[in-house]
Structure 1
Amino acid sequence: MELLPQSKEALDEYVTPSVDDVEGLLRVIEGWAVRTVPECVALSVTMLDDDLTFTLVDTDAGADLTVAPGREDAGARSDDLHYLMDEGGWAEMARERAFAGIASTICLPVVEAGRAVLNIDLYASTAHAFHDRIDGLVAALGAWQAGAVTNADLGFDTLRRAQAAPARLREQRLVDVAIGLVAARVGVTTDDACGMLEQAAEEAGITEAQVAAVARVLLA
């Protein structure tokens, strides 16, 4: 599998004290995933503390995993309450909205000290790829079996989040700079400065990054 270009870009800038080598972690997960589920064509790992997602895709899978197929009838069916409430109907609609090349998925949370720190999402090209293989994946990846969820992301939403990761990192750097400026100018701790930015964003109805941009201009 190959790293999504945006994941490569984000990994060049991302530093976390919890993982020394994020790309190395991705490759270890890839190795175990492909050995356990040969039909695996993509995987995403989300660092929950930072809400950042990194994605690997199989460029030889025979389908473009970055383009979703259009399904006109799926939208119409979403208005049918009885169809949505039926488990079989829900699964069928999810598959109709799925990305080309993805027929089944599984999300495996990794828990440390009683809290989830990672989400591992695996994507396979066949509908029953994960059948009878969940135990092996849980054991290999150190995941929380009770939290495993299948076919919840046939639309490959983690791809969108991975594509947004570089922008999220840029916004976070902007916020970090603004926090430092506010802390120095007002004479408060960085935690207090962070709270001030959060409150200002909430009161103004804008994002923290937008508040940070204004603060940086006014205080720099």
Structure 2
Amino acid sequence: MELLPESREALDEYVAPSLDDVEALLRVIEGWAVRAVPECVALSVTLLEEDLTFTLVDDATASGARRDTEAASTPAGTAEPAEDAHALDERGWAEMARERAFSGIESTVCLPVVEHGRAVLNIDLYASTAHAFRDRIDGLVEALGAWQAGAVTNADLGFDTLRRAEAAPERLREQRLVDVAVGLVAARAGLTTDDALSLLRQGASAAGVSESQAAAVARTLMS
């Protein structure tokens, strides 16, 4: 598997004392996952505190596209259920999810990693066959140090973590802008950084703009 280009860009910019080498972590997880599930074609790791996702993907999956579901949809764009389908029929929901799945992905599992009672990572694995994770989750949980009770299968057949990984560089740029603005506000107003961040958030909320937009204004005014 190869790093998504946006993940490479984000990794080149990402610095955190608590997790110095995210790429090494990705590669370790890749090794365990591919040995346990040879059908694994992609994986994502999400740092929950930072809300950043990094993704490894094979070439075929990286170039995949969503399947055409128009034939299985009503004119309003919603799937037409079978007449006898029950609203809570899990098999029916699974089939509907697969109709909207990312090309080349037939099954997924999300494994949270918990430290000191708090989830710190989500590990999402993606496979090219529908039953790739059957009878393998226990082994993955043990190998990856994940929380077994929190494991969820087939929740991301649409490969949403790919889109979050693609957005990671921009998220990092926005966070850096906020950090700089908070530092300027703290220095000018004699506040702690926590108080300066709170002030920036209040200003963003009052103006109806994002934190990064408020940070850009604050940086311009104080430069």
TM-score tier, shorter chain, comes to: over 0.9
| 2:144 is the alignment partner of 1:141 | yes
Q: Deviations over 1:52-73 (max 9, x none)?
A: 00000011xx444553223112
Q: Which residue of 2 aligns with 1:101?
A: 104
CA contact (8 A) 2:107 2:128 kept: yes
CA contact (8 A) 1:65 1:101 kept: no
| 2:66 is the alignment partner of 1:68 | yes
Residues 84 and 163 (structure 1 numbering): CA distance in 2 closer, same or farther, change over 3 Å?
Answer: farther
- TM-score when scaled to structure 1? 0.94
- TM-score when scaled to structure 2? 0.93
Amino acid of the residue matched to residue 71 of structure 1?
T
Identity of aligned residues (%): 74
- How far apart are the structure 2 equivalents of 1:168 and 1:49? 13
- How far apart are the structure 2 equivalents of 1:175 and 1:139? 38
The two structures, once aligned, show a CA RMSD in angstroms of 1.7
Residues 96 and 84 (structure 1 numbering): CA distance in 2 closer, same or farther, change over 3 Å?
Answer: farther
State the Cα distance separating 1:87 from its structure 2 match: 1.4
Q: Which residue of 1 aligns with 2:79?
A: 77
- For residue 170 of structure 2, the aligned residue among 167, 171, 174 is 167
- For residue 125 of structure 1, the aligned residue among 128, 145, 156 is 128
Length, aligned pairs only: 218
Residues 31 and 78 (structure 1 numbering): CA distance in 2 closer, same or farther, change over 3 Å?
Answer: farther
- For residue 92 of structure 1, the aligned residue among 87, 92, 95 is 95
- For residue 184 of structure 2, the aligned residue among 165, 181, 185 is 181
Q: Deviations over 1:12-51 (max 9, x none)?
A: 0101122121100000000000000000000000011100
Q: Which residue of 2 aligns with 1:152?
A: 155
| 2:15 is the alignment partner of 1:15 | yes
State the Cα distance separating 1:175 from its structure 2 match: 0.2
CA contact (8 A) 2:41 2:61 kept: no
Runs of 5+ unmatched residues, structure 1? none
Amino acid of the residue matched to residue 24 of structure 1?
A
Runs of 5+ unmatched residues, structure 2? none
Q: Which residue of 2 aligns with 1:52?
A: 52
State the Cα distance separating 1:76 from its structure 2 match: 2.2
SS in structure 2 at match of 1:160: helix
